[in-house]
Amino acid sequence: MEMQEDWCTWRDCESSDLLSAENRTISKILTQWETIKGLTGGAIIANQKMAGYTIAERLTDDTLVIHFEKGNPDYKGIYQAINQMFLERSGNTFEFVNREQDLDIQGLRKAKLSYHPVNFIKKYKITLNRS
């Protein structure tokens, strides 16, 4: 929880509805970890503090979905490191890794494209007008 709280301070979660909602979700997952079946994850510890973490679960027999990855910006390459180390140590050989959506965040999109995705799922945005 401390790492997530720090991450939200670094990213100013309170100024973004999206990040605030994500933070609430992650907090709920972390506090209820034992009761949520199928979750897995990993962390990198540096200098006795968590420097990065990931939360994932098996989607299908050949696909792992990464729900969240967070890293301390003081550690250059922490996101690449947690991604690589977690997948190497996952104990399973997954053909595919679903890294979820990039939320139209350019830096996140660029990072995800660097993994050379094999496919994209077309998404739509629907706006309901209530009259």
What structural domains and CATH numbers belong to the chain?
Answer: 2-113 (3.40.630.30)
> pLDDT truncated to tens, each residue of the chain (131 aa)?
899 999 899 889 899 888 899 899 999 999 999 999 999 999 999 999 999 999 999 999 898 999 999 999 999 999 999 999 999 888 767 888 888 765 566 666 676 666 667 777 777 778 888 87
Q: What is the pTM of this model?
A: 0.79
Q: Integer distance in angstroms from the first to the last C-alpha of the chain?
A: 43
HSE-CB at 26 with a 13 A cutoff on CA atoms is 25
Helix (H), strand (E) at residue 118: none
